[in-house]
Structure 1
Amino acid sequence: MSALLDLQGKRLVLGLSGGIACYKSAELVRLLTKAGAEVQVVMTEAAAEFITPVTMQALSGRPVVTSQWDAREPNNMAHINLSREADAIVIAPASADCIAKLAQGRADDLLSLMCLARPWTAGDQRCPLLIAPAMNREMWAHPATQRNVAQVVADGAQLLGPGHGDQACGEVGDGRMLEPAELLEDIVAAFQPKRLAGKTLLITAGPTFEAIDPVRGITNLSSGKMGFALARAAREAGAQVTLVAGPVSLPTPRGVQRIDVRSARQMHDTVLPLAPRHDVFVATAAVADWRPATLAEHKIKKDGKKQAPTFELTENPDILAAVAALRGAKPYCVGFAAESENLLEHARAKLKRKGIPLIVGNLGPATFGRDDNALLLVDATTQQALPADGGTADKLSLARLLVADIAARLQAAHHPA
């Protein structure tokens, strides 16, 4: 689902402090460079006990810097030059000792010295500091570590993790470093504009499954990729996101609360109580319009007469219309229209029928299951293609464009000209 080259043109300093999680940093460098970033690795003396600078140099394509006394810098000020040239400093792993140094403003090695020397003035985002803790669960839970973490965050650093699970010592708990793919997602998110900061979004995604008997049902070809991409993009933009997902096999975007449902009625019964507590509702799911009126108790078997079974259909509840019709507090509603023909005509008709401000149209057969798509944004008076050139784009890139459009509409609604 990830867009290609999310970090194109970004210059990152990746700092490694001492910890067994340094082995994950090798894969992190590979993912960062694959995403387009230029990575400069800085290692402490302790980090070099766990992984060699040679390995990190081979993966990053740049000489690793390990000492504040490195004479390769013309002015012998690596701590200044590295922080001024970087778009962000990422410390992964960040040991308990490293975090303590950051909290206390100590600077007895290149990594801590560089972090202290980075531009830090309030509101100055030229070089954000992202730290990924990695330590034993007891070390993480210790009051001293928690005080240090709180201080580092208060000083403007962003915490990535930690994760929960098996630890190298054999114990299980909080404190392990996030996996490289998780860190990549968080690092990419750090560079996205926070257009929806403070907002709450409720999103539905995927198909529904309407059972005929215990093993068969009515469904559709929706993969859920667009809805999941939108959930990730909204979270990147600073929103708190709840994702109600039909039966799909997709990983949950980081930082997103996910609720799994199966049928249209389950989705309806989940969404309706939640909707009034959210600022925006985006109905991305391809909800089945109809379901069997009755459910066969057992699997419907062939009877040898080559006669297909028949069953009566009944209409499913209209989730989007129900949310749009809520009285009192209700979210800004965005619908999706997956059509097979006459996209603009059907999208505008759905906009009026549902009584909502925005419909996002697409051609279902051309997008279901694919990683790319093209969208048509339709409101009461205008229509706009995404991407603007009329082509296609990967779904995460489209989701980011849609998030930007929704944020602009919310702003306009609260501050009309």
Structure 2
Amino acid sequence: MLTGKHILLIISGGIAAYKSLDLIRRLRERGATVTPVLTTAAEQFVTPLAVSALAGQKCYRDLFDLTDEAEMGHIQLSRVADLIVVAPATANLMAQMVQGLAGDLAGTLLLATDTPVMIAPAMNVRMWEHPATQRNLEQLRADGVSVVGPASGDMACGEYGPGRMSEPLEIVAAIEAALSGGPLSGRHILVTSGPTHEPIDPVRYIANRSSGAQGSAIARALISLGAQVTFVTGPADAPRPPGAHVLEVQTAQEMHDAVISALPADAAIFAAAVADWRMAEASTRKLKKSKDGLPVLAFAENPDILRHVSGLGDNRPGLVVGFAAETDDVIDNATAKRDRKGCDWILANDVSPGSGIMGGTENAVVLIDATGADTWPRMTKDDVAQRLARRIADALGAVQN
């Protein structure tokens, strides 16, 4: 799938550098040519010999190597690739990219190129969450740099949280999408998925039934057409889509905040089953049975994410798509929801008992827009996602034209 493509892979200094060895292998399996560049710090984690052996190419290390400059100057090296990938991208290298510093070979290559750049951040969770890193991330995105990950999990330092470099196959999927030249290439699309969990007490919560399967399928389909996808998901069972920038949340308020932080976007697809209500004040202790009767639960309304985004001014995505899970009068209720929310499209489905839609592998949707209702036949959720992605590509193409 990457035959004839040339990847310039910059490996910076972090424990995740060992994953880059597998990334090289995976890219070469798919036909790509990989030219590796090691920073000085990266050599503390992986050896030039191992990197060069796996890549089957010379490993570049020194900005002032006269032999390298004679064979291929660093300016030329930065421009012959189809894509520059930085994996892992440390907090230091991200800051260096933002400032445009060119004190070493990696910085010079990144500054002296007009080739698209993709980074796979990897660092300690505290470093990732630091305001300086988040500011740098925002600036890199604004500069057109695409970002893969990071994932959440156990850290080598013993901490847990976001900051783990994405797995090699996830990075490969993002590279394939970036180089596919698909109709959504260069487009940023936001997708929400899964349920939200609204705590009642430390052991109980309010939630909607959602596996996240349809949202994950939509994200994968969009990525396959070349889109850069930010995937905001509640605690869902479905696998996270490879190649997406994944934001994990629990509550509706957290999902709202993550969505706003991910804007601007060319389109926003709200497939999440967000709980309409939360506890006005969740208990900090487990509620106990009492002879005095049932506990009184006071509810508050959650933020309406779809309506909020639909009502944004200059920051509103060009296409806003909502979902409506209905048990009766599907088209009428969904049409009313579209009018009420102010979105462009609503995908409605019948989730009444016996439909097999909720938690199943198939879906039957009706797409409702300003012109009316388009009923789709029952199909797999992957097929629904592919059909929706192509329709989104057509719509965004029309907007662009």
The interval holding the TM-score normalised by the smaller chain is 0.5 to 0.7
- Select between 241-250 and 184-193 the one with higher mean Cα deviation: 241-250
Q: 1:377 aligns with which of 367, 379, 382?
A: 367
> Given that residues 28 and 183 in structure 1 are in contact (C-alpha distance below 8 angstroms), is that contact kept between their aligned partners in structure 2?
no
Q: Do the aligned partners of residues 252 and 177 (structure 1) sit closer, same or farther apart at CA in structure 2, a change above 3 Å counting?
A: closer
> Given that residues 309 and 316 in structure 2 are in contact (C-alpha distance below 8 angstroms), is that contact kept between their aligned partners in structure 1?
yes
What is residue 256 of structure 1 aligned with on the other side? 245
Find the residue that maps to 1:223 and give its secondary structure: coil
Pairwise CA distance, 1:188: 2.2
Q: Do the aligned partners of residues 211 and 197 (structure 1) sit closer, same or farther apart at CA in structure 2, a change above 3 Å counting?
A: same
Equivalences, count: 335
Give matches, 1:296-307, under 5 Å. 296-303=283-290
- What is the letter of the counterpart of residue 341 of structure 2? K
Q: Give me the whole-angstrom Cα distance separating, in 2, the residues matched to 1:43 and 1:240.
A: 24
Pairwise CA distance, 1:224: 3.2
What is residue 193 of structure 2 aligned with on the other side? 205
What is residue 349 of structure 1 aligned with on the other side? 336
String of CA shifts for 1:176-216, please: whole Å, max 9, x gaps: 99742233222321343454455544443221222222321
What is residue 273 of structure 2 aligned with on the other side? 286
Pairwise CA distance, 1:269: 5.6
> Given that residues 88 and 119 in structure 2 are in contact (C-alpha distance below 8 angstroms), is that contact kept between their aligned partners in structure 1?
no
Q: Give me the whole-angstrom Cα distance separating, in 1, the residues matched to 2:104 and 2:52.
A: 32
What is residue 147 of structure 1 aligned with on the other side? 108
Q: Do the aligned partners of residues 256 and 94 (structure 1) sit closer, same or farther apart at CA in structure 2, a change above 3 Å counting?
A: farther
Q: 1:246 aligns with which of 223, 231, 234?
A: 234
Pairwise CA distance, 1:289: 2.2
> Given that residues 226 and 284 in structure 1 are in contact (C-alpha distance below 8 angstroms), is that contact kept between their aligned partners in structure 2?
yes
> Given that residues 19 and 168 in structure 2 are in contact (C-alpha distance below 8 angstroms), is that contact kept between their aligned partners in structure 1?
no
Q: Do the aligned partners of residues 101 and 163 (structure 1) sit closer, same or farther apart at CA in structure 2, a change above 3 Å counting?
A: farther
Q: Percent identity?
A: 33
> Given that residues 89 and 120 in structure 2 are in contact (C-alpha distance below 8 angstroms), is that contact kept between their aligned partners in structure 1?
no
What is residue 322 of structure 1 aligned with on the other side? 308
> Given that residues 195 and 209 in structure 2 are in contact (C-alpha distance below 8 angstroms), is that contact kept between their aligned partners in structure 1?
yes
What is residue 106 of structure 1 aligned with on the other side? 71
Q: 1:96 aligns with which of 52, 56, 61?
A: 61
What is residue 99 of structure 2 aligned with on the other side? none
Pairwise CA distance, 1:50: 3.9
Q: Give me the whole-angstrom Cα distance separating, in 2, the residues matched to 1:292 and 1:315.
A: 9
Q: Give the aligned CA root-mean-square deviation in angstroms.
A: 5.4
Find the residue that maps to 2:71 and give its secondary structure: coil
- What is the letter of the counterpart of residue 297 of structure 2? F
Q: Do the aligned partners of residues 298 and 196 (structure 1) sit closer, same or farther apart at CA in structure 2, a change above 3 Å counting?
A: same
- What is the letter of the counterpart of residue 256 of structure 1? H
Pairwise CA distance, 1:25: 5.3
Give unmatched runs, 5+ long, in structure 2: 37-46, 97-101, 125-155, 157-163
String of CA shifts for 1:90-112, please: whole Å, max 9, x gaps: x7x964379x89996837xxxxx
Pairwise CA distance, 1:242: 4.5
Give matches, 1:10-409, under 5 Å. 11=3, 29=25, 39=31, 50=50, 95-96=60-61, 106=71, 129-130=82-83, 132=85, 142-151=103-112, 153-154=113-114, 156=115, 158-159=116-117, 161=119, 164=122, 179-196=167-184, 199-231=187-219, 234=222, 241-248=229-236, 251=240, 254=243, 256=245, 258=247, 260-268=248-256, 271=259, 277-303=264-290, 309=295, 311-326=297-312, 330-331=316-317, 332-340=319-327, 343-363=330-350, 366=356, 368=358, 373=363, 375-384=365-374, 390-394=378-382, 398-409=384-395
Q: Give me the whole-angstrom Cα distance separating, in 2, the residues matched to 1:244 and 1:197.
A: 20
- Select between 337-346 and 218-227 the one with higher mean Cα deviation: 337-346
Find the residue that maps to 2:371 and give its secondary structure: coil
Pairwise CA distance, 1:360: 1.9
> Given that residues 16 and 94 in structure 1 are in contact (C-alpha distance below 8 angstroms), is that contact kept between their aligned partners in structure 2?
no
Give unmatched runs, 5+ long, in structure 1: 1-6, 57-63, 67-90, 108-114, 121-127, 171-175
Find the residue that maps to 2:323 and give its secondary structure: strand
> Given that residues 241 and 256 in structure 1 are in contact (C-alpha distance below 8 angstroms), is that contact kept between their aligned partners in structure 2?
yes
Pairwise CA distance, 1:376: 3.7
Q: Do the aligned partners of residues 252 and 217 (structure 1) sit closer, same or farther apart at CA in structure 2, a change above 3 Å counting?
A: same
Give TM-score scaled by structure 2 length. 0.59
- What is the letter of the counterpart of residue 392 of structure 1? T
Pairwise CA distance, 1:359: 0.9
String of CA shifts for 1:255-292, please: whole Å, max 9, x gaps: 6263x443334444665x65984443322211112334
